[in-house]
A and B are shown apart, each in its own frame.
Chain A
Amino acid sequence: AQTVTQSQPEMSVQEAETVTLSCTYDTSESDYYLFWYKQPPSRQMILVIRQEAYKQQNATENRFSVNFQKAAKSFSLKISDSQLGDAAMYFCAYRSVSTGANSKLTFGKGITLSVRP
């Protein structure tokens, strides 16, 4: 079974600065998807970014980018120019490809990001 580990429970960043959130995972599969979801205080789950394992290029979405290290099974999220609205819980998630393109997500425990004004 796949596991997702987010070992940092909390992080803090100064507004306008850059922060990196860590995630590692364990799998025996060669092809899969990785995701970062944001959960603000409203508790809605919002997709931030997605990475396909067969793509070597790191995904980017505006101020959000990932550092995907397949051999190390590491998938970190970098938030540039942090804004107060970035304060939230961030979850890393894994999805297998072998069980179908719409199979379940496996989540990490999440990390709480606070942004200091």
Chain B
Amino acid sequence: EPEVTQTPSHQVTQMGQEVILRCVPISNHLYFYWYRQILGQKVEFLVSFYNNEISEKSEIFDDQFSVERPDGSNFTLKIRSTKLEDSAMYFCASSVEGKLFFGSGTQLSVL
């Protein structure tokens, strides 16, 4: 069964460093998303992406964040200068016909 793939599964970085989280959505899906979950809290929407542009973003998704689909398969989330409070599980998702499928997440730890 096709699945959303995320790499790496764990990322440790120093505060102030840039990180790029990578995702390969399911191949026939057209909508892509990033969500995050701080430990013990609910899953929060960050951004959605369609037709090579952002279709919606939350208040969390400030100028430190950016997304890109650099080729036909990858979808990336970049955090330019990480903060301690960016430590969370980041989930990529893609959808078709209104059904959302999540990747297994990247656990980002900012030290």
Chain A residues in the interface with B (C-beta under 8 A)? 33, 35, 37, 42-47, 50, 91, 93, 95, 99-110
User: Given contacts A102-B95, A104-B33, is CB(A45)–CB(B50) below 8 Å?
Assistant: no
Decide yes or no whether B48 CB sits under 8 A from chain A: yes
Cβ A103 vs Cβ B41 within 8 A:
no
Q: Is B25 an interface residue (CB 8 A)?
A: no
**Contact at B89–A43, with CB atoms within 8 Å?**
yes
- In the complex the two chains form, is B48's CB within 8 Å of A103's CB? yes
User: Known contacts A101-B97, A103-B48: does B102 contact A44 (CB below 8 Å)?
Assistant: yes
A107 touches B100 (CB 8 A): no
Complex interface: chain B residues within 8 A of A110 (CB): 42
Bound-state CA distance A6–B101 (Å) is 22
B98, A104: Cβ atoms closer than 8 Å: no
DSSP majority for the B interface?
strand
C-beta contact mask, B79-102 vs A, less than 8 Å → 1, else 0? 000000000010101011111111
Apart from A45-B43, A45-B93, A105-B100: 18 A-B pairs, beta carbons within 8 A: A42-B104, A43-B104, A43-B107, A45-B105, A47-B99, A47-B101, A50-B99, A100-B55, A101-B97, A101-B98, A102-B98, A104-B48, A105-B43, A106-B45, A107-B42, A108-B42, A109-B42, A110-B42
The chain B residue sitting closest to A33, CB to CB, is B98
Give the Cβ gap from A6 to chain B, nearest Cβ, in Å. Answer: 9
- Return chain A residues, CB-CB under 8 Å to B42: 91, 107-110
Return the chain B residue nearest A95 by Cβ.
Answer: B98
Q: Which of A37, A103, A108, A109 is the most central at the interface, judged by chain B CB atoms within 10 Å of its CB?
A: A103
Residue of B nearest to A109 (CB): B42
